[in-house]
Structure 1
Amino acid sequence: MSRKSYLVSLLFSAGVVLSHAFAPAAMADEASAPAKDRSMMSRDQVTRILDSNRMILPGQGVDEKVKLHINGIDQWISIRGKDRRNPVLLFLHGGPAAPAMPEAYTFQTPWEDYFTVVQWDQRGAGKTYRANTEEAMAPGMSVKGMTDDAEQVVTYLRERFGKQKIFLLGHSWGSILGVTLAQRHPEWFYAYISTGQVVNGRRNEEVGFNYALRKAKEEGNQTAIRELEAMAPYPGNGPLTLDRIGMRSKWEMYYGGLAWGRKDYQFDVDAEELSPDYSREDLDAIDKGSLFSLNHLLPALLATDFDHVTNFGCPVIVYVGAHDYTTPHEVTEAWYANIHAPSKKLVSFADSAHMMMQEQPGRFLMHLVTDVLPLAQKAGDGAPAEVERDR
């Protein structure tokens, strides 16, 4: 239910040309430009500058991309952190097949002072999609199969870094895998961090639709009213087609239910184009992987029902955007009220919708440090605290 597959592949893949930062001429070899002329920079130049500004010193830190062979296919992870002693945080991206790795540089770099952060391109997504045939990936394209994959990623990380426990952050579609994995192996995790939680797939559709229609009527947007009312009652009892979901997503996004105060998600698309972690070929694989994954996983996403999955054996921290109608915040808040766990905490981000880590990155970091990190520090996991010195 994140941007690339659940929204953008529905809205943009049908031939809409995205406006990118660089025209083809700007992508030419650097030698073709006048010496020291930075008015037109190639993608390679930009990514080099971005990468140099987030440099991790060798030795104590880690900056690696690792290809793991998991359940019959090659799967890619990125591992970045300033201090290997820090706790590991595994980020389960949304979608399905909406990898966070290409835009992670826009929000993740400060996290790396406190955590060893792992981005994993799931089966069917990004680098992992590009590394395999669709025929090889297809047998595991299910919640169970992808949770099995996630188990192997966690096992690798625990062994690689000598950690009994790590942090698990699930965002959007990734929150389905996150809940499932936290239920299977609570002993593996300091906490499950729920972000943009999918609680009930069909109820999400209903609440998001009603929000968009309400906002359209308040604004007198006759185009939106006509297009949305043509689908009523929504979602109804019948099958949900990509066209119907795309129309709901279009207007929910237009009214800020994905990124608050924004009518589209172009800022993220543009950021991906400059990703220091993705090649041009990796970027091209995103939409292909999204469409492949939707064909396999959309029914499972819509059938998700965690209404009564509320007993956890590890701490649970739930982050919601106060304006989120992609995974509606009120649905998540009601679910949170029924959670039983060793400890739990709910944080609402007042100026965010579904993409809190990008919309309010400073506050998101603050809560990772104040809500999440202490759970590992109590167990003695992490680098020594900073020493305050008078100057």
Structure 2
Amino acid sequence: MALRLLRNTLVGLLTLFAGLATSLALAATSPPTSVASAPDATRPMSREQVTRILDSNRQILLPQGVNEQVKLRIGGIDQWVSIRGKDKRNPVLLFLHGGPAAPAMPEAYTFQTPWEDYFTVVQWDQRGAGKTWRANTEQAMTPGMNVASMTDDAAQLVQYLRTRFGKQKIFLLGHSWGSILGVELAQRHPEWFYAYISTGQVVNGRRNEEVGYNFALRQARAEGNATAIRELEAMAPYPGTGKMSLERIGMRSKWEMYYGGLAWGRKDYQFDVDAEELSPDYSRADLDAIDKGSLYSLGYLLEPMLASNFDQVTHFGCPVIVYVGAHDYTTPHELAEEWFSHITAPSKRLVSFADSAHMMMQEQPGRFLVHLITDALPFAQQAGDAAPAEVVRDH
């Protein structure tokens, strides 16, 4: 649910200083290079060289395409979005990232590029997150650091996208924390959306913590992991009824992640942190802002996140597509599957990714794309809101 919570509470500052030290070391050992210069094979490549190569590889040069980062005035502050797609005739897909304040923009290059053949994909750094945190003072952002105001922010962004691209409807994809905003917005304005795509859905914040904790403790006992058992049992009963702390949630997250509840088969989240470090969409200062923005945001959004409860929010006026990772215990798949069984909507579909946990778009990117194309895209195609398909001739 809090995608980078463990990273922020346990290793956030270490990552920040280690990244800074690495950058300084590279600057000290690497000669100055121009943007167009080839890397020296005898020296490590600089971050700038790597990001230039990645960015060049995924350039969008088609005249009907779009590839830009835009600072928009939303909710009284400056908020950053990335808009990428091969053909503006394709439907718009707005991605609501997790966290709170864990922007997907810096890691999106690892999974999003193929999406851009079929959708105009919008990544938005929400209030308090990443580039948007960096672009504003905390004093300016604080009055809107709540679910209702951030849903208002999302609504303003949707209106901008509908107007700019001449779309009556778009797709709304909410991941993890973003699924809270996604449900709220789909409930307010179902007429704006071809479908709400629920991914790693937060259904009930307190129950979410309980199921994830029980999973981690069950796995630790089965393995005989004395350290994990001791640390988890010391928090019992969990989550309890009192106010939650970052330390307690961080401990649950640490062991739930260790047993594959965040990314199946992985014991940590380093693969994603490493990918962010090479992001062609983020500067060094933007990367440093991730942890700072997350720690700031959690001060306002942790309790609202835990208080979220959609057990009875099951009637939707737009189609609903629910994607779950079969091993997800960050937002436990059982809760999303049970919630799905009660949903009423013009149409609904549940897809369980067999070899994924919470990060299914990165864990099984090919299958995730196939399902976006087969489950979601037809809604837009039926409305004539898609670029012409390829011409295929059989001989």
**TM-score, with structure 2 as normaliser:** 0.95
1:37 pairs, out of 40, 59, 62, with 40
For residues 92 and 309 of structure 1, the distance between their equivalents in structure 2, rounded to whole angstroms, comes to 19
Structure 1 counterpart SS, 2:195: strand
Residues 60-113 of structure 1: CA deviation (Å, up to 9, x unaligned): 100010000011100000000000000000000000000000000000000000
Matched, 1:71 2:75: yes
Q: 2:282 matched to which residue of 1?
A: 278
For residues 258 and 382 of structure 1, do their structure 2 counterparts lie closer, same or farther at Cα, with a shift above 3 Å needed? same
**Matching of residues 1-391 of structure 1 within 5 Å:** 1-4=1-4, 6-13=5-12, 15=14, 24-28=24-28, 31=31, 36-38=39-41, 39-390=43-394
Unpaired segments ≥5 residues, structure 1: none
For residues 187 and 247 of structure 1, the distance between their equivalents in structure 2, rounded to whole angstroms, comes to 41
Residue identity in the other structure for 2:230: R
For residues 59 and 17 of structure 1, do their structure 2 counterparts lie closer, same or farther at Cα, with a shift above 3 Å needed? closer
Residues 193-226 of structure 1: CA deviation (Å, up to 9, x unaligned): 0000000000000000000000000100000000
For residues 273 and 304 of structure 1, the distance between their equivalents in structure 2, rounded to whole angstroms, comes to 32
For residues 307 and 261 of structure 1, the distance between their equivalents in structure 2, rounded to whole angstroms, comes to 30
Contact in 1 for aligned 2:39/2:49 (Cα 8 Å): no
Structure 1 counterpart SS, 2:344: coil
Contact in 2 for aligned 1:312/1:340 (Cα 8 Å): yes
For residues 376 and 35 of structure 1, the distance between their equivalents in structure 2, rounded to whole angstroms, comes to 43
Q: Quick check: 135-144 or 237-246, which moved more? A: 237-246
Aligned residues: 390
Residues 219-267 of structure 1: CA deviation (Å, up to 9, x unaligned): 0000000000001111111211111111100000000000000000000
Residue identity in the other structure for 1:10: T
Identity across matched positions, percent: 77
| Deviation at residue 159 of structure 1 after TM alignment | 0.2
For residues 32 and 68 of structure 2, the distance between their equivalents in structure 1, rounded to whole angstroms, comes to 32
Residue identity in the other structure for 1:225: I
For residues 256 and 68 of structure 2, the distance between their equivalents in structure 1, rounded to whole angstroms, comes to 37
Unpaired segments ≥5 residues, structure 2: none
Q: Quick check: 32-41 or 117-126, which moved more? A: 32-41
For residues 319 and 222 of structure 1, do their structure 2 counterparts lie closer, same or farther at Cα, with a shift above 3 Å needed? same
| Deviation at residue 29 of structure 1 after TM alignment | 8.1
For residues 28 and 160 of structure 2, the distance between their equivalents in structure 1, rounded to whole angstroms, comes to 40
Residues 332-386 of structure 1: CA deviation (Å, up to 9, x unaligned): 0000000000000000000000000000000000000110100110111000011
Residues 161-205 of structure 1: CA deviation (Å, up to 9, x unaligned): 000000000000000000000000000000000000000000000
Structure 1 counterpart SS, 2:52: helix
Residue identity in the other structure for 2:8: S
Structure 2 counterpart SS, 1:163: coil
Residue identity in the other structure for 2:93: L
| Deviation at residue 294 of structure 1 after TM alignment | 0.2
For residues 323 and 372 of structure 1, the distance between their equivalents in structure 2, rounded to whole angstroms, comes to 23
**TM-score, with structure 1 as normaliser:** 0.96
Contact in 2 for aligned 1:27/1:41 (Cα 8 Å): no
Residue identity in the other structure for 1:271: A
Residues 18-69 of structure 1: CA deviation (Å, up to 9, x unaligned): 8769564334585358975234101110000000110101421000100000
For residues 297 and 236 of structure 2, the distance between their equivalents in structure 1, rounded to whole angstroms, comes to 27
For residues 357 and 179 of structure 1, the distance between their equivalents in structure 2, rounded to whole angstroms, comes to 19
Residue identity in the other structure for 1:306: F
Q: Quick check: 237-246 or 247-256, which moved more? A: 237-246
Q: Quick check: 34-43 or 346-355, which moved more? A: 34-43
Contact in 2 for aligned 1:312/1:339 (Cα 8 Å): yes
Contact in 1 for aligned 2:87/2:387 (Cα 8 Å): yes
Structure 2 counterpart SS, 1:102: coil
| Deviation at residue 16 of structure 1 after TM alignment | 6.1
Contact in 2 for aligned 1:167/1:192 (Cα 8 Å): yes
| Deviation at residue 389 of structure 1 after TM alignment | 3.1
For residues 221 and 68 of structure 1, do their structure 2 counterparts lie closer, same or farther at Cα, with a shift above 3 Å needed? same
Contact in 2 for aligned 1:29/1:42 (Cα 8 Å): no
